[in-house]
């Protein structure tokens, strides 16, 4: 009985092994959810190894292809289309680009002026702030003058053509909460910088218009800049002149100038009252947003100012 049972048991075990092997081989069909590194413990590895290897290879190929497709889809999904500029943004860029080479309006040709006037008119028609004097957060801050048609500034700007004096910046700082305005012109020379500033108060007269009353002017004392480095040689009438023998003399002169500049820089700025006949003016803001302001003043003059820190500012 035991021999019969043993033979039967062996026969059943053999059939069970074949069944398990077939089942496992069938179960090893390619799947995206089954890692190729998973190894199944087959009861009869000889009969199932070839099928398992083929299945694992097939599964790896399917998975790699699927992962590639997924990565491509994910990359496509994460790519954002380039942001299209609005009509106002395009106009602002065109306006600022038209200022190039005009020295804030001083050197603008009649053709360039006509183009600038046209762009300004188009922007004013799209003004997003109909009541600028009520938009304190937009008015507040430092504004850099980029262009003007005000002829009163042209004599000042023409000084920039002198070899030793340059107008570095013209700005207007508005404190909309204390109703004060500070206009500032910064000059630069070979050894120092200086400034001329006017302080004023303003009153709101309409949603777009303010009345400005100047109170005082301030002439800033020169501030010492970095030392000038003497070059090894210079070109003069087509010939190279060696400057190394003059370095000692130049250093002595530079040290003397630096000493004088330091003494002057330590002095307080000069303040003076502005005469009553020149103490008042008015300003009409015709366009205002987060980065650009267009204002009109006496005699139809126009001022285009850009907020400090805006990418619209020319380098």
DSSP 3-state assignment of 135?
A: coil
Please tell me the distance from the alpha carbon of residue 10 to that of residue 16, in angstroms, as a whole number. Answer: 10
CB atoms within 10 A of CB 136: 13
The residue range of the domain holding 294 is 87-220+269-307
168 with 60, same domain? no
> Given this model, what pLDDT does residue 2 score?
43
Global pTM reads: 0.64
- Structural domains of the chain, count: 2
> Given this model, what pLDDT does residue 123 score?
97
In whole angstroms, how large is the CA radius of gyration of the chain? 40
DSSP secondary structure string for all residues of 31-75: -TTS-TT-----SSHHHHHHHHHHHHHHHHHHHHHHHHHHHHHHH
Q: Is the residue at 254 inside a domain?
A: no
Q: Is the residue at 4 inside a domain?
A: no
> Given this model, what pLDDT does residue 204 score?
95
> Given this model, what pLDDT does residue 21 score?
41
91 with 206, same domain? yes
Q: Which residues contact 55 (CB under 8 A, 6 or more apart)?
A: 25, 28, 29, 30
74 with 108, same domain? no
Please tell me the distance from the alpha carbon of residue 160 to that of residue 191, in angstroms, as a whole number. Answer: 16
Please tell me the distance from the alpha carbon of residue 225 to that of residue 270, in angstroms, as a whole number. Answer: 20
Give me the average pLDDT of each 10-residue run along the chain (315 residues).
Answer: 44 45 41 36 40 43 44 55 87 96 93 96 97 94 96 74 75 95 88 87 95 92 63 60 62 64 72 82 95 91 96 80
> Given this model, what pLDDT does residue 255 score?
66
In the listed set 49, 78, 107, which residue is the last one of a domain according to the structure? 78
- Give the mean pLDDT of the chain: 74
- CB-count exposure of residue 79 (10 Å: 0-12, 13-18, 19+): exposed
Q: How many angstroms from the chain centroid is the CA of residue 279?
A: 37
Q: Dig out the tokens for 39 from the structure.
A: 């190894």
């Amino acid at each position: 009985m035991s021999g019969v049972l043993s033979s039967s048991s062996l026969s059943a075990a053999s059939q069970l092994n074949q069944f398990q092997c077939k089942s496992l081989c069938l179960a090893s069909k390619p799947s995206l959810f089954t890692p190729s590194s998973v190894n199944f413990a087959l009861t009869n590895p000889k009969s199932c190894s070839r099928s398992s290897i083929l299945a694992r290879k097939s599964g790896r190929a399917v998975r790699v292809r699927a992962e590639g497709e997924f990565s491509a889809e994910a990359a496509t999904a994460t790519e954002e289309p380039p942001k299209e500029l609005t009509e106002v943004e395009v106009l602002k860029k065109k306006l600022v680009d038209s200022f190039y080479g005009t020295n804030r309006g001083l050197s603008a040709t009649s053709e360039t002026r006509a183009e600038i006037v046209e762009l300004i008119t188009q922007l004013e028609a799209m003004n997003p702030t109909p009541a600028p004097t009520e938009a304190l957060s937009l008015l507040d801050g430092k504004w850099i003058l980029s262009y003007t048609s005000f002829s009163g500034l042209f004599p000042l700007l023409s000084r920039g053509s002198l070899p030793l004096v340059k107008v570095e910046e013209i700005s207007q700082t508005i404190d909309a909460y204390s109703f004060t305005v500070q206009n500032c012109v910064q000059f630069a020379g070979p050894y120092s910088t200086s400034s001329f500033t006017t302080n004023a108060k303003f009153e709101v007269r309409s949603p777009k218009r303010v009345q400005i009353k100047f109170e005082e002017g301030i002439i800033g004392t020169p501030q010492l800049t970095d030392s000038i480095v003497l070059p090894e040689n210079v070109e003069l009438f087509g010939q190279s002149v060696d400057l190394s023998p003059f370095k000692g003399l130049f250093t002595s002169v530079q040290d003397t100038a630096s000493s004088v500049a330091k003494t002057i820089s330590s002095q307080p700025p000069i303040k003076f009252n502005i005469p009553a006949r020149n103490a008042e003016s008015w300003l009409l803001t015709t366009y205002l947003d987060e980065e650009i302001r267009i204002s009109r003043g006496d005699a139809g003059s126009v001022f285009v100012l850009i907020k400090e820190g805006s990418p619209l500012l020319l380098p």
